Chain A
Amino acid sequence: MVVLDYGSGNLRSAVRAVERAGAAVTLTSDLDLAMEADGLLVPGVGAYAACMRGLRAIRGERVIARRLSGGRPVLGICVGMQILFERGIEHGVETEGCGEWPGVVERIQAPIVPHMGWNTVDVPVGTRLFAGIEDERFYFVHSYAVRDWTLVTNDRTPDSHQPRVTWAEHGGDRFVAAAENGPLSATQFHPEKSGDAGAALLRNWVNSLV
């Protein structure tokens, strides 16, 4: 698999964590390699606008879209998840995202922000990412989140593509902690920093790659 290098994130941790999950990993910004890989991991930390700039600079948003058109797995982590949505609003500045999912990334409404530390998650029926680790805590660190899941599906949507959305709560606010939707998966928390629980989640994802 490939960890996409577009100048964002603690890449070393991401690479080591998926290696530990049993994957052969290449860290690269080469789009052919990113396209050919069995799985593409999109990390991301810092500001939404900076991440999108970095991603667009290597045309990363195209390789994400093309992989998904072909049903090929992509996993976004932290801001790497947020940029999959339509747009992000930070400090009043609106930035267009990849738009693979509808929805907006906005500031968490809680007394203490950033949401920093190990939190429990509310896992949906049918999850593959959280199989066997439904009751674990995961490490979050973020001030912005997706507070409404608005993707339209109906009962003719194949079961494999029915979105499975995992939620987290902090200070009375509720937001998306993870989403699984056909080939596209993402976590707001950092599995690569979430100890054994995070390792198990990455293993679940790596094992799902054909």
Chain B
Amino acid sequence: MSLAVRVIPCLDVDAGRVVKGINFKELRDAGDPVELARTYDAEGADELTFLDISASHEGRATTLEIVSATAEQVFIPLTVGGGIRSVEDVDRMLRAGADKIAVNTAAIHRPELVAEIADRFGNQVLVLSVDARRAPGTDSGFEVTTHGGRKSAGLDAIAWAVQAAELGSGEILLNAMDADGTEDGFDLELIEAVRREVSIPVIASGGAGAAEHFPPAVEAGADAVLAATIFHFGKVRIGDVKQSLGDAGYPVR
């Protein structure tokens, strides 16, 4: 008996619509997050992540409605991230039906936010999202970035992960900015470096291009794997990833 490796599709949502091309023949409306969530649930997704990229207040309000509609219909855990800046933002999302909240930039600017959220809602709701890239000058060789990987946050990525875990983060979503979009595979050294230092679950993200890329990420220490584009384009299905993990000897649901 042991935990199954979680396979998590991530949807970028802008003002209630899924952006980034979705290419499932069987979908009537590929931009509808609720319909996509149902589809991924039926395919065996172990959790879902919505990343709200809405720039406007109205857009974010729409996302809240989408979260509600999804939670009404899909009975697997739902994580929502993007634009979460305060305990009040977290409260709104949880009330709408989210199970976990991912925070990123706001926690970099104000690390106490991690403790505030964990104290109020428990650390199980809090996912610290870390956009990390290689930086030879740093202690660990990895640094935290903002603005989609374009700017350095001036923080060592591994030290930040350790600090966030101590402050009460329940999980780390580790986005490898160097690997992101390459479809060449996960950044295994980054996963190993974080796994060595933290004892909370790690979700590996960035770089997946084929089903066989997933087992090495688990071997490197990931408890869960997240991908967006390859799932949306139907290039790799959830079932393919689970097959590949299962063949490598890892438990899957």
Contact = CB atoms under 8 A, between A and B. Distances in A.
Interface residues of A, number: 37
A44 B231 CA distance: 33
Nearest to B121: A46
B122 A116 contact: no
Contacts of B123: 114, 143
A170 B76 contact: no
B80 to A, nearest CB: 12
B75 A13 contact: yes
A118 B4 contact: yes
Interface of A: 10, 12-13, 16-17, 20, 45-47, 111-122, 137, 139, 141-143, 168-170, 190, 192-196, 198-199
Contacts, number: 101
B65 interface: no
A193 B124 CA distance: 14
A114 B200 CA distance: 6
B87 to A, nearest CB: 13
Contacts of B99: 10, 13, 141, 193
A113 B200 contact: yes
A202 to B, nearest CB: 10
Contacts of A199: 75
A194 B2 CA distance: 16
15 contacts: A12-B96, A16-B71, A16-B75, A45-B121, A45-B125, A46-B124, A112-B200, A114-B123, A117-B201, A118-B3, A118-B6, A168-B1, A190-B77, A193-B99, A198-B75
